[in-house]
């Protein structure tokens, strides 16, 4: 396979995710996950494994967002 010389960058400013935007996206995902977790916990037949998975996801999202704080 021959080497290709790309004259133009394929990166644009729109492709770049700022730390602020990443924090905002993580916060939105965290809020959504928390709502799902609360709804699941309120269900009388909540699957403990599903609750555990959502709690782990929530914890990971919070940790990721905290790591991006200035």
- What's residue 70's pLDDT? 82
* 22-63 residue pLDDT tens: 999 999 999 999 999 999 999 999 999 999 999 999 999 999
| Helix/strand/coil percent split, the chain, to 5 | 65, 0, 35
11 pLDDT more than 70: no
In a domain, 5, yes or no: no
In a domain, 10, yes or no: no
Q: The whole model's pTM is what?
A: 0.74
In a domain, 7, yes or no: no
Structural domain span for residue 54: 17-67
In a domain, 2, yes or no: no
Count of the separate structural domains present in the chain: 1
In a domain, 48, yes or no: yes
Higher-scoring residue by pLDDT: 65, 2: 65
In a domain, 6, yes or no: no
Position 17 confidence tier, pLDDT thresholds 50, 70, 90: confident
In a domain, 61, yes or no: yes
In a domain, 31, yes or no: yes
């Amino acid at each position: 396979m021959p080497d290709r010389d790309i004259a133009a960058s394929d990166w644009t400013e729109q492709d770049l995710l700022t730390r602020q935007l990443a924090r905002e996206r993580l916060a939105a995902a965290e809020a959504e996950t928390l709502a799902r977790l609360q709804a699941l916990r309120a269900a009388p037949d909540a699957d403990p494994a599903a609750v555990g998975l959502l709690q782990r996801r929530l914890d990971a999202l919070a940790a990721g967002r905290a790591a991006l704080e200035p």
